[in-house]
């Protein structure tokens, strides 16, 4: 009997908080001393963008990350890669804790952890040719000597993502959005990574182009044995592409399950509401639309207890929902859910 594989990426209690100055609450008739103090000072607060996330990502799999805008998905992806410094928790990559590693020690790690960005134009330097853009990581990591060897490697990268080698001498504005995203993918592949964070790589593309990029990502994953964290708003694409899916709400993972299990039987009330909005042509798989009342609470001042309880549609919620933070616990079928009532 073979041993279970070790996670390629393992995060525990990961936090990313952003300090922020906020105004004092309004007072109808402040005293002179209050007016002076309010004019000279601001209250310090923190935005809890990522607030205690546990997540394992295993070699060769694609983990989807979904949730409403502002829930912390992109911040989580960037913090895992140490593009943002974590406030707390740990990040273990390939068995090594990289949470507090200095930049010099992180350099070889960065070669194996890459990112594909959301905006395929803003992520490319408009003043650099495509050849120069792809040559830069090769030069930084010493992966190909200048001259013919580097040109051959860049041509091979372009062909691998479905572009002609003559793109080397052209600039980003000469390409379509889908082609620019292919260039972004080639740049991520240039250093031969093991793990790639795909930060909503399809949201700026037409639907017809999205399918081509999804197929490219799947082909590359098989050929290069890549591992993806795939961040997206498009729940249908996530269902097609991902092995497991993590649902985020207000900086926390509230459900983590195999993709088929999540889409067929979501356990957390927020996941149920999120998936009820997914359009389908199959009458047997349609769900009653669940409309959540109110707005997402502020990450500056999250509610006590379960962060979802002010909007939770479950009737007769137990007192624990209001005063106890639910742990991410294992349910039947391999699902993990942070909910006091989920079974």
Residue 207's φ and ψ, nearest 5 degrees, are -60, -40
Domain that holds residue 214: 9-249
What are residue 46's DSSP bridge partners? 19
Query: In the block, which residue shows the tokens 């906020």?
Result: 22
Residue 179 forms part of a structural domain: yes
| C-alpha span between 295 and 257 (Å, rounded) | 26
Cβ neighbours around 10 below 10 Å, total: 18
- Spatial contact of 46 and 20, defined as CB atoms under 8 Å apart: yes
- Spatial contact of 273 and 290, defined as CB atoms under 8 Å apart: yes
| C-alpha span between 80 and 39 (Å, rounded) | 39
pLDDT score recorded for residue 93: 97
Residue 211 forms part of a structural domain: yes
- Tens of pLDDT along 34-86? 776 666 566 678 899 999 999 999 999 999 999 998 899 999 999 999 999 99
Give the closest residue to 134 by CA, choosing from 111, 151, 113, 110.
Answer: 151
- Tens of pLDDT along 5-37? 899 999 999 999 998 866 666 766 777 777 766
pTM of the model: 0.90
CATH number of 152's domain = 3.40.50.300
Residue 60 forms part of a structural domain: yes
Residue 139 forms part of a structural domain: yes
Residue 278 forms part of a structural domain: no
Residue 15 forms part of a structural domain: yes
- Spatial contact of 255 and 73, defined as CB atoms under 8 Å apart: no
Residue 265's φ and ψ, nearest 5 degrees, are -150, 70
- Tens of pLDDT along 194-242? 999 999 999 888 888 999 999 999 999 999 999 999 999 999 999 999 9
Give the closest residue to 83 by CA, choosing from 41, 38, 134, 123.
Answer: 123
């Amino acid at each position: 009997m073979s041993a279970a594989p070790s996670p390629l990426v393992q995060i525990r209690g990961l936090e990313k908080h952003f300090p922020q100055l906020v105004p004092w609450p309004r007072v109808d008739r402040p005293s002179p001393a209050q007016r002076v103090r309010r004019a000279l000072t601001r209250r310090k607060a923190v935005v809890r963008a990522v607030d205690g996330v546990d997540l394992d990502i295993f070699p060769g799999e694609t983990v989807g990350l979904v949730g409403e805008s502002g829930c912390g998905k992109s911040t989580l992806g960037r913090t895992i890669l140490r593009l943002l410094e974590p406030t707390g928790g740990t990040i273990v990559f390939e068995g090594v804790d990289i949470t507090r590693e200095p930049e010099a020690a992180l350099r070889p790690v960065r070669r194996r952890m890459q990112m594909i960005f959301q905006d395929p134009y803003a992520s490319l330097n408009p003043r650099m040719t495509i050849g120069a853009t792809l040559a830069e990581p090769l030069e930084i990591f010493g992966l190909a000597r200048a001259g013919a060897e580097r040109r051959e490697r860049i041509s091979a990268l372009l062909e691998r993502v479905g572009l002609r080698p003559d793109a080397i001498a052209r600039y980003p504005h000469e390409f379509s959005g889908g082609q620019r995203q292919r260039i972004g993918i080639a740049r991520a592949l240039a250093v031969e990574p093991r793990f790639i964070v795909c930060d909503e790589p399809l949201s700026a593309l037409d639907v017809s182009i999205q399918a081509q990029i999804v197929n490219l990502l799947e082909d590359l994953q098989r050929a290069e044995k890549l591992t993806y964290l795939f961040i997206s708003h498009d729940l249908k694409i996530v269902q097609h592409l991902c092995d497991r899916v993590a649902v985020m709400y207000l900086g926390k993972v509230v459900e983590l399950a195999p993709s088929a299990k999540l889409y067929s039987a979501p356990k957390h009330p927020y996941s149920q509401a999120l998936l009820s909005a997914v359009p389908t042509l199959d009458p047997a798989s349609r769900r009653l639309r669940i409309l959540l009342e109110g707005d997402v609470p502020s990450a500056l001042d999250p509610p006590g207890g379960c962060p979802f309880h002010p909007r939770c549609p479950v009737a007769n919620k137990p007192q624990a929902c209001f005063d106890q933070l639910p742990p991410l616990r294992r349910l039947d079928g391999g699902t993990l859910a942070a909910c006091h009532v989920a079974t």
